[in-house]
Every structure is written in structure tokens, then in C-alpha cells.
Amino acid sequence: MSDIILHQYEMSPFSRKVISIFAHKNIAWHAVDQPITAPKPELTPLTGGYRKIPVMQIGAHIYCDTKLIIRELEKRFPETPLTPPELLGAAEIIADWADHRLFSNVAGPSIFEIGKLVPKEFLADRAAMQRPEVMAAALPIEHVKAQFVLDLQMINRQLLGSAFMLGAAFTLADAAIFHVLNFAGNAPSLAAEINQHKAIGKWLQTIRDMGEGQRSNMAASDALAIAREATPDHTPPADAIADDALPVGQMIAIKPNDYGQEVTTGEIIWVTAEAIAVKRTDAQVGDVLVHYPRLGYLFEDAS
């Protein structure tokens, strides 16, 4: 039986990003359905607060954020590598652009157009996730759509010359742009713009045809039981560092620096230049090790 559990929901674009990696690597994994709005009482015992989707669980190890989840999959499943080392920097920069800038040009118009398909509390939940300054800076919807059209032109230019974003093979750059455009396709006016570009349509279909890896479903209660029965491994990775700002043993509060700023508090077990692992003890699941990337997260002393 596979150890990989993905806490996700069907409509979640960021889950689709990770699922395309499962497909590429043909990984066997379990899908646990989580609610599309807060509260998430069968997720937060694992994360300690973080409510974004997806979250990957392996035993009592909890991985937050797709950036980190994908790095972990690359380490654990090196047989079908995702991104060659000489393209990794470019792929990560493109992924960051897609996850934030491209996504923000898609999220507003999509939610506006698919609003009727989602429960009415969805819109209030998403509005509450935004920081006040983000809400205040909300841009006119027609402008955002026009920006999306320009984004599509850049993506298309790249795909006219190669099968995938960075050449002949699927990489992280494809996974990151794919999940956003695949989601955008739910909104009729954005789908119409995507359909203007044959190369993009063909590339989207190629990635859809890759499938989802070996997927099976799991109940959330079973995932919680797995965490409860497992003991997290505290051994630091080979690239662990000593960092005076994040000393091992200190209690630390972690939250995203963009939207959805729920806090996870735990004891630092190890840090690398790019990631951090903290230990939490939860009444439902016992000891868990929660892993975060450092890019995009704020850390505050909680001792």
C-alpha cells in the first residue's frame, strides 16, 4: 500500500498541480477529500492551523505548500526525474510566477463566473482569506481579464517552439502553468481566450492525458489514524544548517506571507536553507512533524 496521502478536493487547482507530478512519476497515492471552505476539522489536527489545499501526509510527516510537496516527491521518487538540474532555477521562477501572478489573473474572473456552481459561503470564505490591503487593491475585472490574455500570449509564444514550456519534456514549469490554465477553463470567457491558441490547447490535452498516477480514495478518519499510529522521524536531512534566526528547539509560529494566514506553532526540529520542520503534539494525532518551505512564509518567535 502506498504511503502517500494527498488532502485535496476536486476543484482545487493547486491539488491538480501535484496530481500532474503523480502522473509523471506514476506514483500510487491516496486522495482524502477535504472541505472547500474553513473550518477543516480533519485537516487542522495534522497541520496545526494551515488550511490551504493540498497538504501531503506521509505517516506522521505533514508537508504544506506545493513547492515543498513537489520537492519531497522529487527526493522520494527520483527514478522519473521531473526537472533536470540545469533547468530547475528557471522552472522554479516560472512556477512562482504561475502560482501567484498568473493565478491572480485567473482567480478573480473564474470565481466571478463559476460563482453559481459553488456554495454561497464559498465567496465569503475566500474574501475573508485575503489580507485587507489585497482586497483594497482589487482591480477591475475587465483589466484582469486583459492581463490574462497577455499572459496567454507569452505562454503560447513558448509553446509554438517546443512541446513543453522548457523543451521536449514535461517539467515543474508545465505543472505550474497547467494547473492554473486547467482551472481557468471552467470559466467560459477565459476558456474562450485559451481556445484562441491551438498550441496551448494541445499542450493542455497532453498533460490531461497523462492521467493522475495510481489514485485511490481514503477516508479522512483513516488518514488521521495513520498519523496517530506513526512516529515521525526527527533525523535532520544531510543539508540541514544551523541558523541563528531559527534555532533548533525554539517554539516558532509560521504563517503564509500572502493570503490564508492561519498559524502553525511548533518546536523547530531542523532547518535547511529552503525548508523547516517543526514538531507539534496534537490531542487527536499525537506527535507530527510539519514541514514548510521558507519561501513565502513568515516565522515569529513563539517561545
Nearest by Cα to 32 from 57, 51, 60:
57
The single residue among 12, 20, 83, 264 that binds ligand GSH, judged by CB under 6 A, is 12
Burial class of residue 182, CB neighbours in 10 A (0-12, 13-18, 19+): middle
Binding part of the chain for ligand GSH, among 60-68, 146-154, 190-198, 210-218 by CB under 6 A, reads 60-68
The single residue among 4, 5, 6, 13 that binds ligand GSH, judged by CB under 6 A, is 13
Distance between CA atoms of residues 294 and 256, nearest Å: 10
Site string for ligand GSH, 235-274 (x = CB under 6 A): -------------------------x--------------
Distance between CA atoms of residues 13 and 99, nearest Å: 10
Distance between CA atoms of residues 19 and 227, nearest Å: 22
Query: DSSP state, 160?
Result: H
The single residue among 7, 24, 30, 52 that binds ligand GSH, judged by CB under 6 A, is 52
Distance between CA atoms of residues 114 and 110, nearest Å: 6
Point out the residue whose Cβ comes nearest to ligand GSH. Answer: 52
**66 binding ligand GSH? (CB under 6 A):** yes
Whose Cβ is closer to ligand GSH: residue 13's or residue 108's? 13
Smallest separation, CB 248 to ligand GSH (Å) = 25
Distance of CA 3 to the CA centre of its chain: 19
Q: Which of residues 78-117 bind ligand GSH (CB under 6 A)?
A: 99
**For binding to ligand GSH (CB under 6 A), which residues are involved?**
12-14, 36, 38, 51-53, 65-67, 99, 260
